[in-house]
Amino acid sequence: MIKLEYFTKQDYDTLLQWVESPSFLLQWAGPTFSYPLSDDQLDKYIKEANQVNGSLLIFKAVEESSNRPIGHIGLKNIDYYNRSARVGKVLVSKEARGRGIGLIMMEEILKIAFDELNLNKVTLGVFDFNKPAIQTYKKAGFQIDGLLRDHRRFEEEYWNLYEMSILHSEWKANSRIS
């Protein structure tokens, strides 16, 4: 259904179209970027990405039947000593939402984390109001570790962030992914 391929400069235009507002940019990327997202910001983002034994892998999700990009996902803070990493910048294009693409993307990134990189733990952060994402992450096997209250500020409002994680042993035991 989908495959993950490295995100490259040729994918900038598609991603720029998907990021349509300052609040969406903050939800998707945290404080990494400023609105409007630009080629220069993306150049810095991918500069150190996708290197052998590097700490950052960035992917686009491609629909196999059409070869069309329908999502974006990254694995960052890859720590080979502690065998951990963090999923970030998860985005499913509007036209692909509601089809289980987010869950498939999570399953694919966890295969990379646990099978290819031999990690023990993968974490992520998600704002508490993003109920569809939270549900998807739980289906993928993530558990809520805690709530960071008033973690990000957008305009005059503060947003709470759930910290979630999954261990290799939990992933292995999840029959849907094995």
Domain assignment of residue 45, yes or no: yes
Residue 175 confidence (pLDDT): 56
Is 178 part of any domain? no
Instruction: Give the gyration radius of the chain's Cα atoms.
Output: 16
| Cα(142)–Cα(75) distance, integer angstroms | 15
Residue 3 Cα to chain centre, angstroms: 14
pLDDT of 178 reads 44
* DSSP reduced 3-state for 21: coil
Q: Which domain holds residue 92?
A: 2-173
pLDDT < 50 stretches in the chain: 177-178
Do the domain assignments include residue 62?
yes
Q: Is residue 143 part of a domain?
A: yes
pLDDT, position 174: 84
Q: Is residue 144 part of a domain?
A: yes
Q: How many domains does the chain have?
A: 1
Question: Cα torsion for 33, 35, 36, 38, to the nearest 10°?
Answer: -10
Answer yes or no: is 106 within a domain.
Answer: yes
The answer to whether residues 171 and 177 touch, using CB atoms and an 8 Å cutoff, is yes
100 part of a folded domain: yes
Tens digit of each residue's pLDDT (9 = 90 or more) over 21-72:
999 999 999 999 999 999 999 999 999 999 999 999 999 999 999 999 999 9
Q: Which of 134, 131, 127, 135 lies closest to 154, judged by CA?
A: 127
Query: What CATH number is associated with residue 152?
Result: 3.40.630.30
